[in-house]
Chains A and B, each alone.
Chain A
Amino acid sequence: MTGLTLTNLKKTFEKGTPNQKLALDRLSLAVEKGDFITVLGSNGAGKSTLFNAILGKFRLDQGKIVLEGEDITHLKDYQRALNIGCLYQDPMRGTAPNMTIEENLALAYTRKASKSFFALNRRDSAYFRELLSGLNLGLEDRMKTKMGLLSGGQRQAASLLMATIAQPKLLLLDEHTAALDPATAAQVLDLTRRLVAEMHLTCLMITHNMQSALQMGNRTIVMDRGRIALDIAGEARAQLTVGDLMRQFQATSGRALDDDRILLSPEKAD
C-alpha cells in the first residue's frame, strides 16, 4: 500500500528577485507504507524544503501530496500534523520548556486521546509512564519535572515520543541527532530505530551521516538541486559502501557530493 505520494512538487522562493531560488524542481516520490527512507544531500539541495512542503509550512507553486489515500495538499499545517509527526535538529523546537514532561506528552496526545475535561488523567498518565520507562532514561519518575530542565538528549528522546505518541501515518526526522553528542546521538538513533520498527511507521530521515544513512532503514535517496538524484533500495543498497554512493552521485549529477557537514564514515565502512 502507498504511504506517501508526492507528485511534481515545485517551489520557487523569492520569485522575481535576484535571490530567486528553485528549491523543489518537479520532485516526485512514492513511499510505500512502512518504508524507512534516509535522505542525503548537499547544503541547499532541498531536503528541509521537501519536509516543510510535506508539513504544509508554505504553499507549493504546483504539485500534489497524498498521504495514505488522502489528498493533503491544501490542508493547513496543524491539520496535517494530525497524521504527521516531526522532529528537528534543535531539541528546543519540539517541546514546551515551562510545562512538565507529563503535560508535554498530554498535549501531543490530544490528537488521539479520548475526550476528558482535564488534560491530565490517571489513564493517560499510566500510558505516558509506560512509554517513558521504555526510554530507559529514568524520566518516568520525573513526569512532574519541567521539560526545560532536561538535557538536550533527554528532550530529544521525549520529543521523539511526542512525535510518535499518536501513531502518525508519517514520521519526518530532520537531522534530529545532529545537535547531540555522539554517545547520546547513538542512543537516540537506537530509540528511533526501535520505535519505527515497533509501530511500523512510515519514516523519512534527513541525515548528514552517510554511514547511518546506509545502515538505517530500507531505502536511501540523495537530493540535488531540488530533485532526487539517486534512489537506492533492496539488494543494490545492501551492497553499497559510502564510496560507491559518492561515485554514483558524481556520475549522475556531474559533481561531487560535498558538504562541509557531511560525515564520511566515522568508523571504517565495512
Chain B
Amino acid sequence: MNGLTLILSALSQGMIYVPMALGVFIAFRVLNMPDLTIDGSFVVGMCVCAVVTIAGSPLLGLVCGMLAGALAGLCTGLLQTKLRINPILSGILTMTGLYTINFMILGGQSNLYLQRTELNAAGAQTQVASDTLYKSFRTLLVSLTGNRRLDANLSAMILSGLIALLLLAILAVFFYTRTGMAIRATGDNEEMVRSSSINADRTRVTGIMISNALVAASGALLCQQQRYADLNFGSGMLVVGLASVIIGQVFFGKRSVTLGLISAAFGSLFYRVILQLAYKIDMPSYAVKLLSAVIVVIALTLPLIRRTIKERRAEREEAV
C-alpha cells in the first residue's frame, strides 16, 4: 500500500466516523456528561439502516437509523432526568437493553448483509446486493465525470465527507440558536439554566438525543459502506469517539463550540491516520481497541504530566 492510498483509505474511514465524533463531543464536552449509550446507539443506527436499506431505500435507511439513535438517547435522557438514575448507569442500562432490541431488528441473528434474495430468469434463487448511498453516489460521479474507473474509496470519502460537512454546519449554526445555547449552558451550569426559567431537563434530553442521533448516523453510514450490519460492532465505539475528540483538542485547544466541533471532526480523521500507520507497522487488527484506550489515557494524563513537570521545575529553581 503506498502512501497516498493509505491516506485515502484512512480518510475514507475517518469521514464515516466524523458524525460519531461530533456526537461524542456534544455528550462529553458540551453536556459535560459521560454517555455510555453511544456503544448501543452506534449499532442501532447500523441495524435499522440495514433493514430499511434492504427494504429498498438507502437514504431513508440513514434517516431512520438516526431517528433510532435519537430514541435511544431519549431513553437515556428520561432515565436520567425523570427517574433520577445516575448518568453513567442510565447509559449502561440503555446500551444493555439495546442489545436485545438490535438483535430483534436484525431478525434474530447477529449480522445481516445488505442483499435480498430474488429469483433469476431461470427461476433459481440468487442474492442481489441492495443499493446503497455509496453505490448510487459513485454511479452519479461516474456519469458526471465519465471516468469509469473512479476509485470507490475516493467516491465513498467524498460522500461521507459531504454528509459530515453538512451535519457539522447544521450543528455549528444550531448551537447559536436559543435552544442550542440553552443546551450548552445546561452542560456548563444547569442551575443557572433553571434560574433563567428554562426547563433544563428538556434541554439535557434534547442534547443527548442529538448526540446519539449523530452516533447512529456513523453506524448507518458504516453499514452502507461495508454492506453489512453486525451486533458486536459497537463495543468500544465510545472510546474511539473520545480518542477523536481528545486528539482534536490537542491540535485546536478548547475555545468555542464551533472550533470544538471542527476539532472533533479533524480528530476523527487523525485518529484513522494513526491507526493506518499502526497497521502499516504490522499491528494486528485486534490491537485497535487497546491502542484507542492507550491514546485516550495518554491524552487525558497529559495536563497532569505537564503540571507535574512545571511544579518540579519551579521547585528546583527555588532550591538553587
Contact = CB atoms under 8 A, between A and B. Distances in A.
Contact of B195 (A86, A99, A117): A86
Contacts of A79: 197
B188 A78 contact: no
Query: Which of B189, B192, B196 counts the most chain A CB atoms within 10 A?
Result: B196
A250 interface: no
Contact of B200 (A78, A94, A99, A163): A78
8 contacts: A78-B200, A79-B197, A95-B192, A106-B181, A107-B196, A110-B196, A117-B178, A162-B192
B232 interface: no
B59 interface: no
A95 B189 contact: yes
Query: Which of A77, A94, A96, A106 counts the most chain B CB atoms within 10 A?
Result: A96
B313 interface: no
B118 interface: no
B151 interface: no
A98 interface: yes
A66 interface: no
A107 B198 CA distance: 9
A110 B184 contact: no
A107 B197 contact: no
A96 B185 contact: yes
A78 B198 contact: yes
B230 to A, nearest CB: 38
Contacts of A118: 176-178
Query: Which of A79, A104, A162, A166 counts the most chain B CB atoms within 10 A?
Result: A104
B184 A78 contact: no
A93 B197 contact: no
A111 B181 CA distance: 14
Given A119-B181, A120-B176, A98 B197 contact: no
Contacts of B199: 76, 78
Contact of B177 (A94, A117, A163): A117
A103 B191 CA distance: 16
Contact of B197 (A82, A103, A104): A82
A81 B198 CA distance: 8
A111 B185 contact: no
A96 B192 contact: yes
Interface residues of A, number: 32
A63 interface: no
B181 A93 contact: no
Interface of B: 176-178, 180-182, 184-185, 188-189, 191-200
Given A104-B192, A117-B177, 19 more contacts: A76-B199, A78-B197, A78-B200, A81-B194, A86-B195, A96-B189, A96-B193, A97-B189, A103-B184, A107-B181, A107-B182, A108-B196, A110-B182, A111-B196, A118-B176, A118-B177, A119-B176, A119-B181, A162-B192
A119 B196 contact: no
A180 B189 CA distance: 21
Nearest to B186: A96
B176 A110 contact: no
Task: Please give me the 8 A-B residue pairs with the lowest Cβ-Cβ distance, nearest first.
Answer: A96-B188, A81-B197, A119-B181, A82-B197, A96-B189, A78-B194, A119-B178, A111-B197
A93 B182 contact: no
A96 B196 CA distance: 11
Contacts of B176: 118-120
A93 B129 CA distance: 57
Interface string A76-91: 1111111001100000
A116 B176 CA distance: 11
B185 A99 contact: yes
B89 to A, nearest CB: 24
B188 A119 contact: no
Contacts of B193: 78, 96, 107
Nearest to B30: A98
Nearest to B191: A93
Nearest to A83: B197
Interface string A110-130: 110000111110000000000
Contacts of B184: 96, 99, 103
Contacts of A95: 189, 192
B147 to A, nearest CB: 42
Contacts of B182: 107, 110
Nearest to B193: A107
B220 to A, nearest CB: 29
A120 B181 CA distance: 9
Contacts of A104: 185, 192
A97 B197 CA distance: 19
A37 to B, nearest CB: 20
A235 to B, nearest CB: 37
Given A107-B193, A107-B198, A97 B178 contact: no
Contacts of B194: 77-78, 81
Contacts of B189: 92-93, 95-97
A166 B199 CA distance: 17
Contacts of A98: 188
Contacts of A97: 188-189
A244 B196 CA distance: 40
A94 B196 CA distance: 10
Contacts of A117: 177-178
A261 to B, nearest CB: 23
Contacts of A78: 193-195, 197-200
